[in-house]
Amino acid sequence: MLSYILRRIAYALPITLGVTIICFSLIHLAPGDPLSAVLPDNAGPDMREQIKIAYGFDKPLPVQYLLWLKNVATGDFGLSIQSRRPVVSEVLPAACNTAYLALAAVLIGFPFGILMGAVAGYTVGGWIDRAVTSVAVTGVSVPHYWLGMVLVVIFAVNLGALPAMGMGPGGQSSYAFDWAHLRHLVLPAITLAVIPAGIIARSVRATVADIRRRDFVGTLQAKGIGEGRVLYHVAKNAGPTILAVAGLQFAQLLGGSILVETVFSWPGTGFLLNTAIFTRDLPILQGTILVLSIFFVFINLVVDVLQTFLDPRIKRA
Amino acid sequence: MAMAEPAAIRTVSEVLNAGRPARAGVSRSYWAGVRRRLARDRVTIVCAAILFVILAAAIFAPYVTWADPYKTSMIRRLLPPGSPNHILGTDELGRDMFTRLVYGGRISLFTGFMPVFVATVIGGTLGVLAGYLGGRSNMLIMRVMDVFYAFPSVLLAVAISGALGAGLVNGLVAMSLVFIAPVARVSETVATQVRNEDFVEAARATGARTWRILIEHILPNVLGPILIYASSLISVAIVLASGLSFLGLGVSPPNADWGLMLNTLRQSIYVAPVNAILPGVMIFVTSMCFNLMSDGLRAAMDVR
């Protein structure tokens, strides 16, 4: 078990390095001189020179990469072009807000998706199954940024029941668990939860239906064990698959939230990215992507390891 | 919008192991069966019909619309659907919504198809090569793919097109890069399975060259599963492409594109909510139909 975990971590390391290479090249992908990409508009020639040396643009690319990597490893992601503040101090609060929203979406979407999928898997071919499958396909196909707009029209414009923008009253972004703050969370979290709920419902349905067809379930039933105990065995067998799908979906939520945050002006990474793109603030763009993708790699690692704890038969390279 | 990877891989292997004749080329009765099953599948037929109408309308846009998609009118802004001469109302600059929705299909469908096509060609080639060659080549190709796979799909698309700058071509490049890795993964899985079949072994034993084995024996047997997987990506691609336009990363105004229309009409959501939502209905219907059609195709080709 330990050797598997170590091997899995050893495998994640080159991936992480690859991720940093892609993030590094983002600045060099930008059209024009990478220097002008990180330079404020009003920079004089001496500032130009200063930044050129600070970023190491006078050195060859591999050296630049290593220097950049060294800085990143010590938590120095450079300065935002717009605010001149360290990128880290802009990205981290935004990442927390995104994680907060993503967690809320997980709490809404995952139990719902698992329940729907399990019920459908138990009633394959019946009307419940067909209803769940249609709902799931809808959830998978819907453009969630549009769904967000529809929810705004219904609940904010027509009913006036829930706020359409921001994270708290008066545009503040603090974590208070009273209704005044939580009501801001409702619409974006539901919007974000729809796609993972659909995907999870589909996978859980397929997994549960598959397991229920296996011989051991028939044996259990033939032995006269109560349906509740059979359910326990089915759940135990479906667990690892569901965990894998759910983990991947949680990680995808981080990316998917870019569009939802834009719709609801949620002060998270998506909102930050969007602003960074239109002000050509490439250091912020780079920093945000790097933090999110490394987190993504980390979650995948955790899911894989958890899976082997749940089902020791899985020993993948 | 996220890609349902585990299910896709499982289905691909199901398709592959589904009692098809394990020979280069596929027997005629197999395809006859697929056609028969498709003809019985009402959902797939309805979806195909809807998509056909949307696609045909987009291609022949000037013949099915009667307004100029770019003609603005300050006094006719945000007319509600059902207004005289404007069956679906007008947008925030007084342009006819119906006309723009029809024209918008041109870019939106193109940006949905194109990246999937590019990614299928590149990712399919890489994946099949990796799967067939195995060993070091496999390691090299698949580890690079793993790195691209290590990004959430939306994030990678936004990152690349954000760095490249807004624009249609940049958006297409970004989305193609996003889809290469998942296609390569599926292709590699399928190719690895086919490569171990006896007929490939036999071809190798008779001294056939690598490229010949690839084209004559591997390709016909991996193409089906790869194309089915690619077809399931079109729905994702349409939602993602419109999402990029929605963020302002796609085509620039005044072009008509469903995502861009959604973006600009969002400012009017309190004044004209129905108009603001209409472009999204098009994205939703198109993506849903592609999804259901892909499911139908998968079921029809999966003899179980």
pLDDT at A177: 67
pLDDT at B14 over 70: no
**Model pLDDT, residue B18:** 47
Taking 90 as the threshold, does the pLDDT of residue A184 lie above it? no
Alpha helices in chain A (DSSP H): 2-29, 34-38, 45-55, 61-73, 87-122, 127-141, 144-151, 179-212, 215-222, 227-264, 269-278, 282-310
In this prediction, residues A225-247 reach a mean pLDDT of 82
Model pLDDT for residues A186-224, shown as the tens digit of each residue:
899 999 999 889 989 988 888 888 888 888 888 888 888
Say which residue, B86 or A110, is predicted with more confidence: A110
B177 in Cβ contact with B156 (< 8 Å): yes
pLDDT confidence band for B152 (50 / 70 / 90): confident
Which of B150, B154, B290 is closest, CB to CB, to A258?
B154
**In percent, how much of chain B has pLDDT > 90?**
21
Q: Is the separation of the CB atoms in A143 and B280 below 8 Å? A: yes
Q: Indicate the pLDDT class of residue B29, thresholds 50, 70 and 90.
A: confident
- Inter-chain residue contact B144 with A137, CB threshold 8 Å: no
The predicted pLDDT at position B127 comes to: 93
**What's the confidence (pLDDT) of residue B214?**
86
Chain B residues with beta carbon closer than 8 angstroms to that of A153: 269, 273, 276-277
The residue-averaged pLDDT of A292-298 equals 87
Q: Is residue A179 within 8 angstroms of chain B, CB to CB?
A: no
Which whole number is the average pLDDT over B33-39? 83
Specify the CATH number for A87-316; select among 3.40.50.970, 3.40.309.10, 3.40.50.880, 1.10.3720.10. Answer: 1.10.3720.10
Of B78 and B190, which is predicted with more confidence? B190
Banded pLDDT at A124 (limits 50, 70, 90)? confident
Local confidence band at B281 (pLDDT 50, 70, 90 cut-offs):
very high
Distance from CA of A266 to the nearest CA of B (A): 14
Q: What is the mean pLDDT of chain B?
A: 83
d(CA A167, CA A264): 9
Residue pLDDT, tens place only, A163-174: 777 776 665 666
Domains by residue range for chain B, with CATH = 33-71+82-301 (1.10.3720.10)
CB contact under 8 A, A150 and B277: yes
In this prediction, what percent of chain A has a pLDDT beyond 90? Answer: 6
B294 vs A contacts (CB less than 8 Å):
none
Give me chain A's average pLDDT, please. 82
Spatial CB neighbours of B263, under 8 Å, sequence gap ≥ 6: B245, B246, B247, B248
For testing the chain B interface, which of A25, A141, A281 should be mutated: the one with the most B CBs within 10 Å?
Answer: A141
A244 Cβ under 8 Å from any chain B Cβ: yes
- Domain positions in chain A are 87-316
> Which residue does chain B place closest to A37, by CA atoms?
B163
- How far does CA A131 lie from the centroid of its chain? 28
* pLDDT at residue B21 in the model: 45
pLDDT at B113: 92
Q: What is the pLDDT of residue B12?
A: 43
- Name the DSSP letter for residue B93: T
pLDDT of residue A32: 65
Please name the residue of chain A whose CA is at the shortest distance from the CA of residue B233.
A141
Lowest mean pLDDT among A22-31, B98-107, B212-221: A22-31
The mean per-residue pLDDT over the stretch B112-123 comes to 94
From the CA of B152, how many Å to the nearest CA of chain A? 5
Q: Do B243 and A145 touch (CB under 8 A)?
A: yes
**CA separation for the pair B6, B43 (Å, rounded):** 24
Give residue A317's pLDDT band: very low, low, confident or very high (50, 70, 90): very low
Q: Which positions in chain B touch A198 (Cβ < 8 Å)?
A: none
Using CA atoms, how far residue A92 sits from A85, A247, A289, A295, A301, in Å, is 13, 22, 12, 12, 21
| Closest residue, chain B, to A254 (C-alpha) | B152
Using pLDDT thresholds of 50, 70 and 90, give the confidence band for residue B268: confident
Q: pTM of the full predicted structure?
A: 0.85
| Record: contact A252-B143, CB cut-off 8 A | no
| CA A71 – CA A61 distance, rounded (Å) | 15
Is A203 in contact with B273 (Cβ distance < 8 A)? no
More confident residue, A157 or B52: B52
Q: Rounded CA gap, A267 and A159, in Å? A: 24
Which residues on chain B are in Cβ contact (under 8 Å) with A282? 163
